[in-house]
Structure 1
Amino acid sequence: MPSRRSILKGVLTGLITAPFVKPQIALAKAPYAAVQSPGFYRLKIGSAEVTALSDGTIPLPLAKLYTNTSEQHAQSALNDAFLPETVPTSVNAFLVNTGERLVLIDAGTGGYLGPSLGKLVSNIEASGYKVGDIDDVVLTHIHTDHSGGLMSNGKRTFPNATLRVNEREAKFWLSRENAEAATGIVKQHFSEADQCVAPYVEARKFEIFGDSQAPVPGLGSILYAGHTPGHSAITLESEGQKIVFWGDITHGEILQFDEPGVAIEFDIDQKAAVAARDLAFKEAVEGKYLVAGAHIAFPGIGHVRTDSTNYDWLPVNYS
């Protein structure tokens, strides 16, 4: 009978004399997952629920678009914040559930501004709601990046919603005389406003609200005219808490907080827009309430405080 020692000796001899065979290891090369997670962020304001919704981002050469400054200075400020020459700029909308009604504040871009945008409907659904659930759509103003999503494939995107717009904003953008007199990109904005807003008017699903008046029960507004004639922030207060949905008080969260006097080419009345921004900043600092910006990096919600240079943006702490 072979001993344990002879068996081990034979095994070792075989290992030494046998040719080395490199092990074959199969490595799975996964493709890049280029898609972000669904763009929504939820928080409570008192008893109300607020859902920030991303419509996507659009690459903008902000330094070239800012006015009342030089392109070189603006780009230097953006570079100091680690931002490139073409800045991925957020387009945000906000859904408010008061417990009595579901209100969408701004409607995104729809199919107007390219494939990196137009994500609003999919993010509404990802957040647990459906477009048919929305009772009201309130616009801060009628620029295409806020109203383009009102229509989808020739139909109203929000079939059960009433569209609500500040009165002077509606009069400006729905005026045939103003549209005929407009030039350049503004003329295009008039055409797009007609395409997106008129179907709600025709369906008798359109209402206006006065300056700094309530667009719907449970929400208020503040007229911050300048960016457009009826540009209005929308306010929500509940159980001692407050948030103000700014619309386009700022474009980005870097330069205009340090230098509120910097305007942007999109402002219809740049001087008035600067005055509105200064007032909005002061009121946000004094009130210590949350603000939500349409073009501040998603979710676009935070506080404003003063600092050594002027104002400072503090994004909401994730929770």
Structure 2
Amino acid sequence: MPGFYRFWVGDFEVTALLDGYTTLPTGFINGYDETLARSASSRAYKPFSPVGIPVPINGYVVNTGRQLVLIDAGSPKAAGAGMGNLTSNLKAAGIDPDAIDVVLFTHLHIDHVGELSDAAGNRTFTNATLMTAEAEWEFTHDDAVYRALPENFRPYVDISRQIVAPYASERQVFTGEVDVVPGITSIPLPGHTPGHTGFALHSNNESLLIWGDIVHLSGLQFAYPDWGVVFDADPELAKRTRRAMFDRASTDRMAVAGMHIDFPGIGYIERTQQAFRYVSAPWQTAR
């Protein structure tokens, strides 16, 4: 079944794309407690497994009326069964990869850059400009950082570097909070990686923050915001950023979208007595 869903943010047409899903072992969750996880999963109406938790992988296309902007490019098919479907769902949604003008990246982990190019080095989005935070590009290509990684993590970085390489000579980088394209603003959200970035869409008095990997486990991290994942480059900063975004989103009644929130990954954050909870956005009719 094709995995795409269209909705509107003001005059921007946004298409959510389901790349697929992976399973995160519970041993990869920092702060994990099985009793608390079982209870939080029940409150979120989610099935519980003590072994691993299914994690969706989403991407988003924004049609601003001037440009077609892809935000994150999913995972490569070689990453595992059930992954690597972003481009096929893009086509199912009636969007030609050659029509994409800009590819924005929240960060450069393998499950966010995976379908930029194929194993032969051919670009999937032949006419697109790659844009990412300068700190993110430097972090991914820093050999000192690479050598400091656990050896079993290094192949993931190797693949990310290989996939983005065909776009390297034409890439554009940005720093801080800037308008990366008209109507889309970069929002620094460091912690998961140094250059991890969200993108705020603004159109006709409506807005949406696509916040990347602030959350990996929607059944657990809203209830326990201090729980992180082993892939967080700076776990303490990731916690602070996550709590700050939960506070901001709940206070401002801000619509958010995430790459690892249950597809289509769009909703709102509410405070509870102890922490927070996620509320899916209502279904929108087509225009």
- Normalising by structure 2, what TM-score? 0.93
Q: What percentage of aligned pairs have identical amino acids? A: 38
Tell me which of 187, 196, 199 is aligned to 2:166: 199
Higher RCO structure (Cα 8 Å, ≥6 apart): 2
Tell me which of 133, 146, 162 is aligned to 1:166: 133
> Structure 1 pair 78/64, CA: closer, same or farther in 2 (3 Å)?
farther
Contact 1:179 / 1:191 at 8 angstroms: preserved in 2?
no
Contact 1:43 / 1:51 at 8 angstroms: preserved in 2?
yes
Shift of 1:189: 2.6
- 3-state secondary structure, aligned to 1:199: helix
Shift of 1:151: 1.1
Q: What residue ranges of structure 2 are gaps of 5+ in the alignment?
A: none
Tell me which of 103, 106, 112 is aligned to 2:69: 103
Tell me which of 61, 64, 73 is aligned to 2:36: 73
Letter aligned with residue 274 of structure 2: T
Tell me which of 12, 25, 32 is aligned to 1:48: 12
The aligned counterpart of 1:82 is: 46
The aligned counterpart of 2:213 is: 248
Tell me which of 149, 154, 176 is aligned to 1:187: 154
Structure with bigger gyration radius: 1
Q: What residue ranges of structure 1 are gaps of 5+ in the alignment?
A: 1-36
The aligned counterpart of 1:124 is: 90
- Normalising by structure 1, what TM-score? 0.84
- 3-state secondary structure, aligned to 2:166: helix
Q: Deviations over 1:184-238 (max 9, x none)?
A: 343223211210112111xx32110112222223210111100011101111010
Tell me which of 221, 242, 264 is aligned to 2:186: 221
CA distance in 2, matches of 1:266, 1:176: 18
The aligned counterpart of 2:109 is: 143
Contact 1:253 / 1:297 at 8 angstroms: preserved in 2?
yes
CA distance in 1, matches of 2:108, 2:152: 14
CA distance in 2, matches of 1:255, 1:141: 22
The aligned counterpart of 1:289 is: 254
